[in-house]
Amino acid sequence: MLHLTLRQLQVFEAVARHLSHTLAAKELYLSQPAISMQLKQLEHSIGLALFEQVGKQIYLTDAGREMLRYSRAIADQLHEMEAVFGEMKGLERGQLDISVVSTANYFMPQLLAKFCQQHPKIQVSLHVANRDAVLQQLAENRTDLAIMGQPPEGSEILAQSFMKNPLVVIASPTHPLCKLKRVKLHQLEQESFLLREQGSGTRSAMERFFLEHGVQFHAGMEMGTNEAIKQAVQAGMGLGIISMHSAELELETARLAVLNVDHFPIVRHWYITHRKAKRLSTAAQAFKRFLLNEAEKLAAPTVVKRSRTR
């Protein structure tokens, strides 16, 4: 009979996810010796090595990969058990883990503040990353709900639209195109665009849009955040295409302008997603209902149809 503890499984899962004792120790607020001790006890209990070291890098063994699968399944069962017992007690409380793509973080705090006012007993953890990282968290069942602008294809994920997400072309207010009442798509071929990194949903939508309309665009500098793109556009380094949500403050203060380009804005949607097989807790169900019913009227941006000049 195996003699192991939930703490050992928690430590193992963190090390297996990061493939690093240092990062796992930081995440769990433990010392590295404590991490090593827990893993050593776990390996002694099952009688197999869970990791192997090649140079300075550690890797999962076959036994380690099996243990990772079981440890995550056990964690899921415990989380579900906690949710079920909470429901049986008639309590709307518990932990809610939400992962959002970086652009959604411009409006999510506003929505979360309203939700927490309505449900003060629910503890919410918000994780912000790019689309690829959020998808990985969904695939590994490390989040209850995920917010993104482009849900993955396939039958494993349930996605529901809760709010429009217009993408607009932004420019410095002194850019020559701001003087035009309307900008033709082909005029953008002469401009340099500041791009998000590969894996960004906004970049994918931008590339798909130009391909569908047969327009060539010049890719300028690649940047990892919308903030960097806005600063660079404001400095006159090029044009950008970003979500209206992420530019409302700069547009209001006339530090940026929206170009009135043919076929823009690109109207996408924000989606709330989760694994179909996942049993949502009371807290997760409450937040999902909140988004579907309240988000549009609380956080929808006002789309600017023409350039704002000084």
Say what the pLDDT of residue 91 is.
52
Q: Give yes or no on whether 90-163+269-299 and 164-268 have one common fold.
A: yes
Nearest residue to 256 (alpha-carbon basis) of 181, 184, 307, 202: 307
Pick the more confident residue, 225 or 94: 225
15-63 pLDDT tens trace? 999 999 999 999 999 999 999 999 999 999 999 999 999 988 999 999 9
User: How many Cβ atoms from other residues are within 10 Å of residue 262's Cβ?
Assistant: 12
Fold for the domain defined by 164-268: D-Maltodextrin-Binding Protein; domain 2 (3.40.190)
Run of H or E residues at 60: strand 57-60
Question: CA-CA distances (angstroms) from residue 196 to 113, 191, 223, 256?
Answer: 28, 16, 5, 18
- Note if the pTM is more than 0.75: no
Structure tokens at 99: 């992962």
Alpha helices in 47-93 (DSSP H): 62-88
**pLDDT band (50, 70, 90) for residue 309:** very low
pLDDT of amino acid 310: 38
Question: CATH classification of 6-76, choosing from 3.60.15.10, 1.10.600.10, 1.10.10.10, 1.10.472.10?
Answer: 1.10.10.10
Give the pLDDT score at 230: 94
Q: How confident is the model at residue 89 (pLDDT cuts 50, 70, 90)?
A: low
Q: Please, what's the b/e burial string for 133-152 (b: 16 or more CB within 10 A of its CB; e: otherwise)? A: ebbebbeebbbbbbbbbbbb
pLDDT at 301 over 70: no
DSSP run (H or E) holding 193? strand 192-196
User: What's the mean pLDDT when you consider all of the chain?
Assistant: 88
Closest CA to 51 of 65, 38, 41: 65
Structure tokens at 281: 């807790």
Rg of the Cα trace of the chain? 23
> What is the architecture, at CATH level 2, of domain 90-163+269-299?
3-Layer(aba) Sandwich (3.40)
At 30, list the tokens: 């433990």
**DSSP state, residue 151:** P
pLDDT score at 44:
92
Structure tokens at 93: 């409380």
Give the domain ranges of the chain. 6-76, 90-163+269-299, 164-268
pLDDT at 176 over 90: yes
Please tell me the predicted confidence (pLDDT) of residue 10. 93
